Amino acid sequence: MNTPLARYSHPVKMAMFGLVGISAAMAAVVFAARSSAIDAATTKRILGLCVAAMVVLVGNFLPKLRPLSSSGADPTKAIATELLAGRTLVFAGIADAGLFLFAPLQLARFASGVIGVCAIAIILASVASLALRSFSGERSAAEPAVGISAANRKVVVYLLFAFAYAFACACVAFLVDEGTQRDALASWMTIAYTVLFAVLFAMMNRGRSAR
Amino acid sequence: MNLVFKALSDPTRRHVLELLEKRPMSAGDLAEHFEVSKPTMSAHFAVLREAGLISSQRQGKSVVYALQLSVLEDALLRFAKGFGWRLQGATPVKLKNVPSTRS
């Protein structure tokens, strides 16, 4: 039977179902905490573990999702950058999971936030370096391009954007203690991501509106 | 996961993955590195593609293969290479243009 999901590749479906499953688990934990079934400290630990699982899942599948493959960059360097980003996220996720399992909660939250920010910085630096090389036209003419289908590319971009938002929010929540400072930061982040999403949406639908 | 283990158990297929680590290559370019027949190489490519370790894309008359490893699969490949992991009955790899170690 030809289902709507049939056009997506296996890694894309695995990442989609994994993220939806972990998000559902997080919602269930929050619901249980609101109904006083779990205490606050345990809730924070379980949510931290869920974030770590999400980071490991996305990191593991990131090189298979090929988010940079159709960016016009050197395919070998794009694959290497995707692999570096994936490894960084997997190591960060494993470290976070270890912290939330064994370290005192305050330390686990702070260290996870720092690890998350470092992981984001490493990934942004490697992607920026790839983008600079591709803008400067540094590409071997002998190397054939490799890409993914348009349907897969679109869902991968939105999936990674949603993950980036969740991960960045989690890092801020881990680093900044509850209070007005965190609320203000959360508001600014929501505004920034809304603007970024609008830009991304316009870029993704550029071809369609031009027709 | 069984398909991944099966694909990584063969030294020829592991060598194909090593070559693709350097850059995406066409089937012809890859086949040049091995002293095996084209149908045998096609069978190896099919196993790797079925396991999801490589992706293929038709470009003109040739098919271009590129590496498509998850972080876990990449770690498994390194583990398999490090320990010379091989299933009994797997075809020994025959490489072309490799200088002899004997003096």
Closest chain B residue to A90, measured at CA: B71
pTM of the full predicted structure? 0.82
Q: Which residues of chain A have pLDDT under 50?
A: 211
Residues 6+ apart with CB under 8 A from A33: A39, A40, A43
The structural domains of chain A, with segments of one domain joined by +, span: 4-175
**Residue B67 near chain A (CB below 8 Å):** yes
- In terms of Cβ atoms closer than 10 Å to its own Cβ (0-12, 13-18, 19+), residue A103 is middle
User: What is the pLDDT, as a whole number, of residue A53?
Assistant: 95
Distances (CA, A) of A20 to A13, A81, A159, A166: 10, 26, 10, 12
Q: Provide the Cα torsion B55, A154, A49, A179; round to 10°.
A: 150
B91 at interface of A, judged by CB pairs closer than 8 A: no
> What ipTM was reported for this prediction?
0.78
Please say if the pLDDT value at position B99 is more than 60. no
The verdict on a CB contact (< 8 Å) between A59 and B71 is: yes
Mutation to test the A interface, candidates B49, B56, B68, B73, most A Cβ within 10 Å: B68
Structure confidence by residue, pLDDT tens digits, B9-65: 888 898 899 898 888 888 888 888 888 888 889 999 999 999 889 988 888 888 889
- What is the C-alpha separation between B70 and A62, in angstroms, rounded? 7
Q: Residue A43 has what pLDDT?
A: 92
Helix (H) or strand (E) holding B66: strand B62-67
Q: Is the pLDDT of residue B87 over 90?
A: no
AA letter at B102: R
**Which residue has better confidence, B67 or A207?**
B67
What per-residue confidence (pLDDT) applies to A185?
Answer: 83
Domains plus CATH for chain B? 2-83 (1.10.10.10)
Report the alpha-carbon distance of residue A175 to residue A117 in Å, rounded: 10
Indicate the residue type of A136.
S
Q: Tokens 């054939």 appear where?
A: A144
Q: Do A64 and B67 touch (CB under 8 A)?
A: no
Q: Residue B39's CB: how many other CB atoms inside 10 A?
A: 8
The length of chain B, given as a count of residues: 103
